[in-house]
């Protein structure tokens, strides 16, 4: 799948080193719910389980102009009975943050979720302190569902988590207005 400046390709074992690097970057890991340091071996074990799973669709984000892998975007906990999934995104390469690449990746994965998988709802959870992510999610149409107060213990304190969702009918209105 491609947009103006990026493409997303299915995650493969060849991407393991990128994923380990990105998830262990302090600027990224501060926004992840896990506190674990990821090793190449644990990533490889995870991938062996992932590749046989129908409940996840993970992609690597590449730039079109120079073919650089810059992050991941995906759907987890895909529930085909209730037609919903949870969104995840990591923009691992610092120099590509804040330049619209994350928004393009979100638009590609949301289009995939609603059109290809025929899902009705995409949910996400994000730390309340992650203001740049919250701004992006609002921009593409996500709505606040609630706040999980002091939900995750990280950085020696309890942190609030924001729950948001986007419905297919809302997405269809958003893309009509672009």
Does some domain include residue 151?
A: yes
Does some domain include residue 1?
A: no
Does some domain include residue 54?
A: yes
Count of the separate structural domains present in the chain? 1
Identify the pLDDT of residue 176: 63
Does some domain include residue 61?
A: yes
Identify the pLDDT of residue 92: 96
Question: Which domain range does residue 68 map to?
Answer: 6-176
Mean pLDDT by 10 residues, the chain (178 residues): 96 88 91 86 80 89 97 96 98 96 97 98 98 97 98 96 98 76
Q: What is the CATH number of the domain that holds 16?
A: 3.40.630.30
Side-chain-side CA neighbours of 175 within 13 Å: the count stands at 14
Does some domain include residue 136?
A: yes
Identify the pLDDT of residue 137: 98
Does some domain include residue 132?
A: yes
Identify the pLDDT of residue 177: 54
β-strand 121-127 against 157-167: which pairing, if any?
Answer: antiparallel
Identify the pLDDT of residue 114: 98
- Say if CB 9 and CB 60 are below 8 A apart: yes
Distance CA 48, CA 131 (A): 34
Confidence (pTM):
0.92
Does some domain include residue 47?
A: yes
Q: Which residues of 27-37 are buried (b: 16+ CB within 10 A; e: fewer)?
A: ebbeebeeeee
């Amino acid at each position: 799948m491609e947009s103006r400046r990026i493409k997303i390709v299915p995650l493969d074992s060849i991407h393991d080193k990128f994923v380990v690097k990105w998830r262990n970057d302090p600027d990224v890991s501060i926004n992840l719910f896990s506190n674990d340091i990821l090793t190449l071996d644990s990533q490889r074990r995870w991938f062996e389980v992932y590749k046989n799973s129908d409940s996840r669709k993970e992609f690597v984000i590449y730039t079109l102009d120079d073919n650089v892998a810059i992050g991941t975007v995906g759907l987890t906990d895909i529930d085909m009975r209730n037609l919903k999934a949870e969104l995840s995104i990591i923009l691992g390469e610092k120099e590509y943050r804040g330049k619209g690449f994350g928004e393009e990746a979100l638009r590609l994965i949301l289009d995939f979720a609603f059109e290809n998988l025929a899902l009705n709802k995409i949910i996400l959870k994000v730390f309340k302190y992650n203001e740049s992510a919250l701004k992006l999610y609002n921009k593409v149409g996500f709505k606040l569902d609630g706040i999980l107060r002091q939900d995750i213990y990280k950085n020696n304190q309890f942190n609030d988590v924001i729950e948001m969702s986007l419905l297919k009918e809302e997405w269809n209105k958003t893309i009509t207005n672009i």
